[in-house]
Amino acid sequence: MKVPLGLLVMLAYQTNLLYCKGLQPIRTEAPSQMAIFLNDLLTSYLNNSVGGVCFFGLPNTSWWQRTSSQNGAHVLRLCSRVQACVAMKPTKETVCELILVVVQGTTYRQMQDLSRVSYWSSRAVHAFVWEDTAPSENGLHMASSLLSFGIIRPLLVLTNSRTLEIKISFPILFKKTIVPVDSSEALQLLSSFNQLANLYGFRYSTLYYLLIPHLYRYDGIFGGPDYRFLQTLLERQNATHTWFFHRSDDIRYNSTNLNAVDRIRLETGRVSFSFNRLLQTEPNKMEKLYLNTFDGMCVLVPRKLLQTFILKLWQPFSQYLWYAVMAIVVAAILGNLAMPRLFAVNYILALLFANTVDYRLKAFDRTILSVLDMLLFLLKEAYTAKIITYMIKSRYEPELETLAQLASSGPPLLLTPGDYANVNASLHTLSGLRVQLRQDVPMLSTDWRTYFQPSYAHVVPCSYGRALVGSNAMHEMGAPKFYLLREKLLIQPEAFTFPLHSPFIGQIKFFVERLSESGIYGSWLSEDYYTQDRTPTLDEVLKFENLASLFYVLLVGYAVAMIVFVVEQVVALVGVRLERKRLTQVQQVGRQACRREVGAKNDKK
C-alpha cells in the first residue's frame, strides 16, 4: 500500500507477515542501521517529542521504505515535492522536531525551497541523506548553506542501497569542517556540543550610525552599554566584529533612510543583527529579541537666546531694593550740593573710584564712607551671586512642552525619511508644523554638533536625547544647546533585530538574560559616559582646563585695568601739560604787566 503524498500518516509498531500459499512461520526482519539510528535519535535524544519526524523526499526511496516499515509510532509528515509541501494548509500541530531530507542537488537550493514550508523549523535536528551518492559541496560551502538558514543541529548521512550501510558525519559549522562519527558519537555531539560556544573567529557585522541608543562614538572611540555587551559577546564566543557604516554615495543603498538600509542589510543577511532597538520591521521578514524595556521617539529642540537680555539685568534685585539704592545715591548728591561744608566729600565718587585719602578726611566723612562701603560690598556680592544664577537659568527663552507649541512658535522639524515614515501618523494631526526631510547622511567622522543643526528641531530616540542633553558634552563651550519636549511622538518596546532564521538569536538571548539578571547591564548603564559626573572635587589636582574660565576673567580684568591705567596716565599727562601751559601764560601776562608798570613809572619821571 502506497502512502498518499501530502497526507499525515500515523504508523504503529507492527511485525511484517510474509504471505505465501499455505502456512509459513513468522519471521522478523532484522532492523537496518538507519532504522536503529533513527529510533535511538527519537527515543534517546528527542525523548519521543510530539514534533515527530518530517520526511522530505520520494517515499519510494529504498532505504526509507525499509526504515519506515521498521520504525513507527511517530507522527510522519510526508512530502515528496516542495510545491506539494507549500500548498499544504497549516495545521495546529507542532513543528517538526526531526527533519529527514533526501538531498538532490545542492543543500542550499533544497533548503531554500523547504524553508517555505509552514511546519519546517530551523531549530529542528536535520539529517541530510544521500543515497548511493556523496555531497557535492565541501565543508566551507556546506557550513555556509546551513548557517544561512539557521540550522545548528545537522547530521550528514550517506546510505548504500545495496548493503544498507550508513556513514554519519557531523559538521562543525564555524570551523567549516566535517567530522566522521558513529551513531553513538553523533547522539553525544548533538546533546553536548554547542555550535555557538566557539565561533572560531567568525566576524559579526553590524550597522552603526549616529542615533542608536546606548551606542555612541565620542572623540573617535566607541562606547555605551551595548558596545560593552558586544565586546563581552565577542570575547565569550571567540569571534571578531566589523562595522558597516552607510554612506550617502553608496550606489547599492543610495538612500538617506537609514532604517531602510538597516532592514535591507538584515533581509539579505549581510548584517548579523541590528543594535537599533527601535527598528520597525515586518515579522515575516525578520526576528526580534525583545529586551523587556521601552523607549520612544522624542523631539530635540534648540535653545533660543534671549534677545533682550541686557534689559533684564535689574531682575536679580527686587524693585523696592533698587528704589532704596537710588534714594541713597540721590541723597548723597543732594547733600554735596545743598550742604557742601557738612558733606564736603563726594561719597559716590569716593566709593567708585577711591579718589580720596582716608587720613585727610574728618571723622564724620570716614564714618559715612565706611557705612556706605560696607553697604556697597554686600550689594555687589549679592548681585553677583544672583546674576550668575539668573544668567544660567534665564539665558534662554522658556522651554516648549508640547508639539502644538512647537508647531505654533518653534523651529522647523528636520526628519530623516525613515523617521518620517514612523512618526507621520503623530504629526499628521498638527496644523502649522513645518517639516523638512534630511538629505544628508552622517559619516563615520560626523559629530553630533554638526549633525544636529541648531536652526532645526530633530527627532531622536528618547534615551539618546536624555543622555545627550544631560551630558557634559552639551555644556561644553561652543556646543549647541538643546532640550527635549515633554510630549513624546512614539513609545515602543526595545529589541535587537535579526535576519530570519538567524542562528545567533538564542545565544545572544542567553547573554542578555544573564547580564541583566546579574545586574551587570545596569552597572554599564550607570557607568555610561553620558551619565558620569565629572565635577572636580577638592582633592583633585587643578589643571589648566579647570582654571581656564578663571584665567579668562583675570585676563579681562587685567586688560581693563591696563586700559584704565593708560587713560589715567594720558589724562594726567594732558593735565600736567595744560597746567604748564597755563602757568606759562600767567607768567607771560605777569611779565607784561610788570613791564607796563615799569614803563608807566619811567614815563612819570
Q: What is the pLDDT of residues 121-139, one digit of tens each?
A: 888 888 888 887 888 788 7
Say whether both 405 and 258 belong to one domain: yes
User: Average pLDDT in the 431-460 region?
Assistant: 80
Say whether both 69 and 215 belong to one domain: no
Element (H, E) at 9: strand 8-10
Cβ atoms of residues 157 and 168 within 8 Å: yes
- Per the domain annotation, does 17 fall within a domain? no
Give the pLDDT of residue 240: 92
Is the model's pLDDT at 68 over the cut of 60? Answer: no
Range of weakest confidence among 154-158, 366-370, 495-499: 366-370
Return the half-sphere exposure (C-beta side, CA atoms, 13 A cut-off) of residue 132: 6
Say whether both 225 and 294 belong to one domain: yes
- Per the domain annotation, does 297 fall within a domain? yes
Say whether both 101 and 230 belong to one domain: no
Cβ atoms of residues 90 and 114 within 8 Å: no
Say whether both 364 and 441 belong to one domain: no
Between CA 427 and CA 435 the distance in angstroms is: 9
Task: Please tell me which residue, 390 or 408, carries the higher pLDDT value.
Answer: 408
Say whether both 267 and 339 belong to one domain: no
pLDDT per residue as tens digits for the range 247-290: 555 555 556 677 777 788 888 878 888 888 888 887 778 889 99
Between CA 144 and CA 148 the distance in angstroms is: 6
Total number of domains constituting the chain: 3
Is the model's pLDDT at 434 over the cut of 60? Answer: yes
* Average predicted confidence (pLDDT) for the chain: 73
> 139-148 and 107-114 helices cross at what angle (nearest 10)?
10
Say whether both 217 and 315 belong to one domain: no
Is the model's pLDDT at 393 over the cut of 70? Answer: no
Task: Please tell me which residue, 377 or 108, carries the higher pLDDT value.
Answer: 108
Give the pLDDT of residue 569: 80
- Per the domain annotation, does 544 fall within a domain? no
Is the model's pLDDT at 13 over the cut of 70? Answer: no
- The residue out of 192, 216, 234 marking a domain boundary is 192
Cβ atoms of residues 288 and 281 within 8 Å: yes
User: Average pLDDT in the 83-107 region?
Assistant: 65
Write out the three cell numbers for 452: 544636529
Q: Which residues of 383-396 are buried (b: 16+ CB within 10 A; e: fewer)?
A: beeebeebeeeeee
Confidence grade of residue 387 (pLDDT, cut at 50, 70, 90) = low
Task: Please tell me which residue, 55 or 313, carries the higher pLDDT value.
Answer: 55
Say whether both 278 and 333 belong to one domain: no
Say whether both 187 and 201 belong to one domain: no
Range of weakest confidence among 5-14, 106-115, 488-497, 574-583: 5-14
- Per the domain annotation, does 334 fall within a domain? yes
Confidence grade of residue 604 (pLDDT, cut at 50, 70, 90) = low
- The residue out of 345, 367, 394 marking a domain boundary is 394
Length of the chain: 605
- The residue out of 330, 363, 394 marking a domain boundary is 394
Between CA 279 and CA 498 the distance in angstroms is: 11
Task: Please tell me which residue, 357 or 360, carries the higher pLDDT value.
Answer: 360
- Per the domain annotation, does 21 fall within a domain? no
- pLDDT above 90 as % of the chain: 2
Say whether both 179 and 56 belong to one domain: yes
Q: Residue by residue, what is the 3-state secondary structure of 135-169?
A: CCCCHHHHHHHHHHCCCCCEEEEEECCCCCCEEEE
Say whether both 201 and 177 belong to one domain: no
- Per the domain annotation, does 184 fall within a domain? yes
Most confident of 3-12, 56-65, 71-80: 56-65
The CATH number given to whatever domain includes residue 297 is 3.40.190.290
User: Average pLDDT in the 207-218 region?
Assistant: 76
Say whether both 406 and 525 belong to one domain: yes
Q: Which domain holds residue 326?
A: 310-394
Task: Please tell me which residue, 529 or 331, carries the higher pLDDT value.
Answer: 331
Is the model's pLDDT at 21 over the cut of 50? Answer: no
Q: Which residues of 134-170 are buried (b: 16+ CB within 10 A; e: fewer)?
A: ebebebeebbebbbbbbbbbbbbbbbeeeebebebbb
User: Average pLDDT in the 365-388 region?
Assistant: 71
- Per the domain annotation, does 98 fall within a domain? yes
Most confident of 140-149, 247-256, 373-382, 531-540: 140-149
Burial of 79 by CB count in 10 Å (0-12 exposed, 13-18 middle, 19+ buried)? buried
In degrees and rounded to multiples of 5, residue 418 shows phi and psi of -65, -40
The CATH number given to whatever domain includes residue 169 is 3.40.50
Give the pLDDT of residue 431: 79
Task: Please tell me which residue, 154 or 537, carries the higher pLDDT value.
Answer: 154
Task: Please tell me which residue, 25 or 195, carries the higher pLDDT value.
Answer: 195
- Per the domain annotation, does 158 fall within a domain? yes
